[in-house]
Amino acid sequence: MKIRQIIARLFGRKAQPAAEPEEVAYFRCRDRDNNPLADRSFPGFDHWRKQPNGDRTCSFCGSLHEDDFLEIIDAYARGEPGYSFDPTTKGYKRYAHRPGVQNASQGGIKFYGWHADQTPGPRWDRHKEIHGRAMARYRAEMQEAFGPKKGE
Ligand SMILES: [Zn+2]
For the ranges 17-21, 54-58, 109-113, which has the lowest average pLDDT?
Answer: 17-21
Is pLDDT at 1 greater than 90 in this prediction?
A: no
**From the CA of 116, how far away is ligand 1's center (Å)?**
10
- Within a domain: residue 78? yes
- Within a domain: residue 128? yes
Strand order in the sheet with 46-50: 26-27, 46-50, 56-58
The 10s digit of each residue's pLDDT in 93-129 is 999 999 999 999 999 999 999 999 999 999 999 999 9
- The count of domains in the chain is 1
Strands 26-27 and 84-86, sheet pairing:
unpaired
Is pLDDT at 150 greater than 90 in this prediction?
A: no
Q: Within the chain, what is the greatest distance between any pair of CA atoms?
A: 78
The 10s digit of each residue's pLDDT in 2-16 is 655 555 565 554 544
- Within a domain: residue 101? yes
What is the distance between the alpha carbons of residues 13 and 60, in angstroms, rounded to a whole number?
39
What is the distance between the alpha carbons of residues 128 and 131, in angstroms, rounded to a whole number?
5
- Within a domain: residue 133? yes
**From the CA of 142, how far away is ligand 1's center (Å)?**
29
Length of the chain in terms of residues written: 152
Return the beta strands (E) in 87-132 as ranges.
93-97, 110-112
**From the CA of 43, how far away is ligand 1's center (Å)?**
14
- Within a domain: residue 8? no
Average pLDDT, the chain: 88
**From the CA of 73, how far away is ligand 1's center (Å)?**
19
pLDDT at position 148 = 79
- Within a domain: residue 60? yes
Question: What 3-state DSSP class applies to 52?
Answer: coil
For range 74-95, the mean pLDDT = 96
**CB-proximal residues (5 Å) to ion ligand 1:** 29, 31, 58, 60-61, 63
For range 16-39, the mean pLDDT = 80
**From the CA of 28, how far away is ligand 1's center (Å)?**
8
- Within a domain: residue 5? no
What is the distance between the alpha carbons of residues 19 and 4, in angstroms, rounded to a whole number?
12
Q: Which domain holds residue 113?
A: 24-146
- Within a domain: residue 32? yes
**From the CA of 52, how far away is ligand 1's center (Å)?**
18
